[in-house]
Amino acid sequence: MGAYIVRRTLWAILLLLVVSFLTFVIFNVFPSADPAALRAGRNATPALIEQIRRNLGLSKPFYTQYWIYLKGLLEHFNLGYSYYNTESVKSEIFSRLPATISVTVGGFVAWMLIGIPVGIISAIKPRSLLDRIMMGGSLVAISAPVYFLGLVSLFLFAQGTGVLQWAGAAGSYVPITQNPGTWFNSLILAWLTLAAAFAAFYARMTRGNLIEVMHEDYIRTARAKGLRESVVITKHGLRAALTPIVTMAGMDIGLLLGGAILTEIVFNIPGIGRYAYDAIVNADLPAIQGTVLFGAFFIVFANLVVDILYAFLDPRVTYG
C-alpha cells in the first residue's frame, strides 16, 4: 500500500512537471506569444522590445529560461508578475482563492447532495412516475449551459432584477468571514447553477449503477439470508454502486473548475475564474499561465486523492 501511494504521488509530480513545461512552451516559446512584444504594448520600437527582452531574460537559451522559471515556481511558488498591473500573480490568485473555494466546494456539495439521492430514489422504483419526472428533469439540466441557467436564475430570483427575490444577495459576493449568512445567500444560486448539470448526470449514473448492482448475485444472497430490503439497498447495493462514482467524481472535478469560471463571471464573484477571464481579455500572459498551472495542480491532486481512496474502497484493487 505504501509503495502504491508513493508511486501514484511520483506520477502526479511527473504529470505536473509535464504540464508546467507545456504551458511554458505555449506561452513563452511560440512566436505568437513573444512576451517582450506583448509587454511592450502597441507601437513599440524594436529597441524597446529588445530592452524588455534583456530585462526579462528572454535572450537566454530556452532551457535556461525554463529552468529559471521552474526554480522560481518550486522555491517561492513564483508565478511571475501581471503585464496588466504588475501585481504578483501569486498574491492575486491567493487573494481570490477563498471565493473560488466557496464556489467550487459549495458546488461540489450541491452536486453530490442532489445527484446521488435523486439517483437512488429513481433506482428503487424504476419506471415509476417519480423516476420519469426526475430523469426527464435531469435531461433538461444536462442540456442547459451554465451561463444560460445562471442568467435565467438571476432573472428569476435575484434582488432587483429577480421576480421572486429568493436569493437576495446573488451577484454581490461577501466573504464568509464577514457575514456567513450573506455569504450563503450570495452563493446559493451560483452553487445550484454550477451543480445542476453535474448533479443531473450523476443522478442518471447512480440510478444506472444501482439498478445494475441490484441484479447481482450477492444482492440475491443478501435477500436470501433475510436482511431487510432497506439494508439490502443502502448497504449492499449502494456500497457497490457508489464506489465507481467516487472515481468519476474525482476526475470530473476538473470540469467543475471549468464551470466555476463561467459561474464566477455570471454571478460577479471575484474568484480565480473571474481573474482568468480578465487575464484572457487583457492578454495578460503570466496571469493566464498562473491560473492554468494552478488549475492543473488541483486536478492532478484530486485525481491522486481519488486513486488512493479507491484502493481503500475496493479491496480487490491490488496495490501492485
Partner 1 sequence: MALLEIEDLHVSFKTVDGVVHAVEGVSLSLDARKTLGVVGESGSGKSVTAQTILGLTRFPNATISGRILFDGHDLLTMSTEHLRDVRGARIAMIFQDPLSSLHPFFKVGHQIVEAIRAHEDVPRDLARKRTIEALSSVGIPSPEERFNSFPHEMSGGMRQRVMIAMALAMRPDILIADEPTTALDVTVQAQVLELIQALRDDFGTAVILITHDLGVVAQMADDVAVMYAGRVLEQTTRETLFTEPEHPYTWGLLQSIPRLDAPRTGRLNPIAGSPPSLINVPRGCTFHPRCPYAPPPAFETEPALTPSQPGHLVRCHLPIEERKRLWQSLQNEHPALR
Partner 2 sequence: MAVAAERTPGAAVDENLLVVRDLVKYFPIRKGLLQREVARVHAVDGISFDVKRGETFGLVGESGCGKSTTARLITRLLMPTSGSVVYDGQDISTWPERKIRPLRRDVQMIFQDPYASLNPRRSIGTIIGEPLRLLGIGDRNERRTRVREVMERVGLNPEHFNRYPHEFSGGQRQRIGIARAVVLRPKLIVADEPVSALDVSIQAQVLNLLQELRDEMGLTLVFIAHDLSVVRHMCDRIAVMYLGKIVELASGDRLYDHPRHPYTGALLSAVPAPKASAGRGRQRVVLQGDVPSPVAPPPACRFHTRCWKAQPICSEVEPPLESKGPRDLAACHFPLTDGEVDALTERSAE
Instruction: Enumerate binding residues for partner 1 (CB under 8 A).
Output: 216-218, 220-229, 231, 236, 239-240, 243, 313-316
Question: Which of the choices partner 1, partner 2, none does residue 217 contact, using the CB cut-off of 5 to 8 A by kind?
Answer: partner 1
Q: Which partner, partner 2, partner 1, none, binds residue 16 by CB below 5 to 8 Å per kind?
A: none
Residue 6 binds partner 2 (CB under 8 A): yes
Considering CB distances under 5 to 8 angstroms, the limit depending on partner class, which of partner 1, partner 2, none binds residue 132?
Answer: none
Q: Which does 228 bind (CB under 5 to 8 A by kind): partner 2, partner 1, none?
A: partner 1
Return d(Cα 225, Cα 234) in angstroms, integer.
16
Query: What are the C-alpha distances in Å from 294 to residues 64, 73, 171, 297?
Result: 23, 11, 25, 5
The conformation of residue 144, written as its DSSP 8-state character, comes to S
Which of the listed partners (partner 1, partner 2, none) does 6 bind, with a CB threshold of 5 to 8 Å by partner kind? partner 2
Give the Cα separation of 33 and 43 in Å (integer).
16
Nearer to partner 2, 61 or 320 (CB): 320
Q: Pick the closer one to partner 1 by CB: 39 or 236.
A: 236
What CA–CA distance (Å, rounded) separates 70 from 200? Answer: 40
| Cα–Cα dist 182/168, whole Å | 9
| H-assigned helices in 25-88 | 35-40, 46-55, 62-76
Asked if 56 contacts 36 with a C-beta cutoff of 8 angstroms, the reply is: yes
Check residue 136 for interaction with partner 2 (CB under 8 A): no
Query: Considering the rule CB under 8 A, would residue 239 count as an interface residue with partner 2?
Result: no
Q: Which is nearer to partner 1, 42 or 225 (CB)?
A: 225
7 binds partner 2 (CB under 8 A): yes
- Of 254, 275, 266, whose CA–CA distance to 100 is shortest? 275
The Cα 48–Cα 41 span in angstroms is: 10
* Cβ proximity of 9 and 282 under 8 Å: no
Q: Torsion angle of alpha carbons 250, 254, 257, 262, nearest 10°? A: -130
Closest approach of Cβ 36 to partner 1, in Å? 58
Question: Could you give the C-alpha distances from 36 to 44, 64, 68, 279, in angstroms and in order?
Answer: 10, 17, 17, 17
Q: Least separation, in Å, of the C-beta of 5 and partner 2?
A: 10
* Element at 164 (helix H, strand E): none
Q: Which of 1, 3, 163, 281 binds partner 2 (CB under 8 A)?
A: 3
Pick what 87 binds: partner 1, partner 2, none; C-beta below 5 to 8 Å, kind-dependent. none
State which of residues 46, 61, 136, 320 lies at the interface with partner 2 (CB under 8 A). Answer: 320
Of 21 and 319, which CB lies nearer to partner 2 in the complex structure? 319
Residues numbered 92-121 forming contacts with partner 2, rule: CB under 8 A: none
Nearer to partner 2, 6 or 130 (CB): 6
Smallest gap from residue 121 Cβ to partner 2 (A): 34
Residue 3 contact partner, candidates partner 2, partner 1, none, CB within 5 to 8 A by sort of partner: partner 2
Q: Which listed option, partner 2, partner 1, none, makes contact with residue 155 (CB within 5 to 8 Å by class)?
A: none
Q: Name the CA radius of gyration of the chain, rounded.
A: 24
Q: How far apart are CA 95 and CA 19, in angstroms?
A: 24
Q: Count interface residues toward partner 2 (CB under 8 A).
A: 4
Q: Which is nearer to partner 1, 53 or 236 (CB)?
A: 236
Which residues are at the interface with partner 2 (CB under 8 A)?
3, 6-7, 320
